[in-house]
């Protein structure tokens, strides 16, 4: 998880941004760098401290330690999420932008777990990270966004939640498809106070979760993607960056597909 923030002046173009992202190191770093280049500060959290420290070190090196805030947080533990946002609020103030990029997709040697073999523990773990964690983060920041009359929320879904899944398991697909409904439920409640809620749905992106580019699964994916390649984390970051900008103020409740044409709804 990463969070970005700068001091926001109500009548100026340089707003204070607090952006919140979950795991997938390459995608998180790409989005963070894009937002930092706008002048944002960045706070980040992840479940594994070693990954959090590695991301923080890379960002500090390029943008300065005073603009980076890093903590280890388990998304399956609501108290840790609450504590993170409380500390962040004390340090930098209210969040302006929330980007939820959680994604775990358990797989065995033969791929995702078949439905009849999914344990309740696996099901609950995936949903707690991919879906419930998003809800808890929204609960943490939306009151502050409402009070200040500005907010951008971007939820990172997946092509697996949009089209027939080819790789992902049932729990992952369910959690990612649910994000669209969750986003729609927030739009009528918060649009009038200057908050937008949108979803970015990436296709096959070259991240740690996707594995080696030359794996059989990725070669098969490239063969069916009209663009003829996997996507890059920076391309997902670009879509997120646009939706968090002032120019996207009238885009609300949308799902932006970033998949090279593999899924093209009419």
Q: How far is CA 157 from CA 177, 199, 232, in A?
A: 7, 6, 16
Distance (Å, rounded) from C-alpha 193 to C-alpha 120? Answer: 39
According to the model, what pLDDT value does residue 16 have?
40
Q: Are 97 and 145 in contact (CB under 8 A)?
A: no
Helix, strand, coil share of the chain (percent; to 5): 50, 15, 35
Query: Token match 């005073």: residue?
Result: 66
According to the model, what pLDDT value does residue 196 have?
98
CA 198 centroid distance within chain: 11
Cβ contacts of residue 40 below 8 Å, gap of 6+? 4, 5, 6, 17, 19, 67
Query: Token match 């797989």: residue?
Result: 107
Does residue 18 register a pLDDT over 70? Answer: no
According to the model, what pLDDT value does residue 20 have?
38
Distance (Å, rounded) from C-alpha 38 to C-alpha 59? Answer: 14
In the chain, pLDDT over 70 holds for what percent of residues? 91
Distance (Å, rounded) from C-alpha 232 to C-alpha 202? Answer: 10
Q: Are 207 and 27 in contact (CB under 8 A)?
A: yes
Catalytic residue set: 172
- H/E segment holding residue 65: none
According to the model, what pLDDT value does residue 25 have?
67
Give the pairing type, strands 107-108 and 111-112.
Answer: antiparallel
Residues 211-265 have pLDDT tens digits of 888 888 889 999 999 999 999 999 999 999 999 999 999 999 999 999 999 999 8
Q: Where would I find the H helices in 113-168?
A: 120-127, 133-148
**Of residues 208 and 122, which shows the higher confidence score?**
122
According to the model, what pLDDT value does residue 10 have?
28
Q: Are 253 and 187 in contact (CB under 8 A)?
A: yes
Does residue 9 register a pLDDT over 50? Answer: no
Cβ contacts of residue 231 below 8 Å, gap of 6+? 202, 203, 204, 205, 206, 258, 259, 260
Does residue 15 register a pLDDT over 80? Answer: no
Arithmetic mean of pLDDT, 17-41: 71
Q: Are 35 and 244 in contact (CB under 8 A)?
A: yes
C-beta atoms surrounding 80 within 10 Å: 17
According to the model, what pLDDT value does residue 11 have?
26
Helix axes 170-190, 133-148, angle to 10 degrees: 20
CA 160 centroid distance within chain: 15
Query: Token match 């790789």: residue?
Result: 167
Residues 68-124 have pLDDT tens digits of 888 999 988 999 999 999 999 999 988 888 989 878 888 877 888 999 999 999 999
According to the model, what pLDDT value does residue 1 have?
54
> Mapping DSSP to helix (H, G, I), strand (E, B) and coil, where does residue 9 land?
coil
Tell me the CA end-to-end span of the chain in Å, nearest whole number.
33
Comparing 24-33, 93-102, 133-142, the range with the smallest average pLDDT is 24-33
Does residue 14 register a pLDDT over 60? Answer: no
According to the model, what pLDDT value does residue 148 have?
93
Q: Which residue, among 8, 97, 106, 87, has the nearest Cα to 45 in the 3D structure?
A: 87
């Amino acid at each position: 998880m990463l969070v970005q923030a700068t001091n926001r002046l109500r009548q100026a173009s340089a707003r204070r941004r607090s952006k919140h992202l979950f795991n997938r190191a390459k995608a998180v770093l790409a989005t963070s760098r894009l937002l930092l280049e706008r002048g944002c500060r960045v706070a980040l959290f992840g479940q594994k401290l070693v990954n959090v420290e590695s991301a923080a070190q890379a960002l500090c090196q390029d943008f300065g330690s005073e603009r980076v805030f890093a903590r280890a947080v388990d998304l399956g533990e609501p108290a840790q999420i609450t504590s993170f946002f409380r500390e962040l609020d004390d340090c930098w103030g209210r969040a302006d932008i929330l980007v939820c990029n959680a994604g775990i997709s358990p797989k065995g040697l033969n791929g995702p777990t078949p439905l009849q073999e999914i344990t309740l523990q696996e099901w609950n773990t995936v949903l707690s990270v991919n879906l419930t964690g998003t809800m808890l983060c929204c609960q943490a920041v939306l009151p502050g966004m409402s009070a200040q009359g500005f907010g951008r929320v971007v939820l990172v879904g997946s092509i697996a939640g949009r089209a027939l899944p080819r790789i992902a398991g049932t729990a992952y697909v369910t959690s990612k498809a649910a994000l669209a409904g969750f986003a729609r439920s927030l739009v009528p409640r918060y649009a009038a106070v200057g908050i937008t809620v949108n979803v970015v749905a990436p296709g096959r992106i070259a991240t740690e979760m996707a594995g080696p580019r030359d794996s059989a699964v990725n070669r098969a994916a490239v063969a069916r993607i009209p663009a003829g390649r996997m996507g890059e984390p920076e391309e997902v970051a670009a879509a997120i960056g646009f939706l968090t900008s002032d120019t996207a103020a009238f885009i609300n409740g949308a799902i932006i597909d970033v998949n090279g044409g593999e899924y093209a709804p009419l």
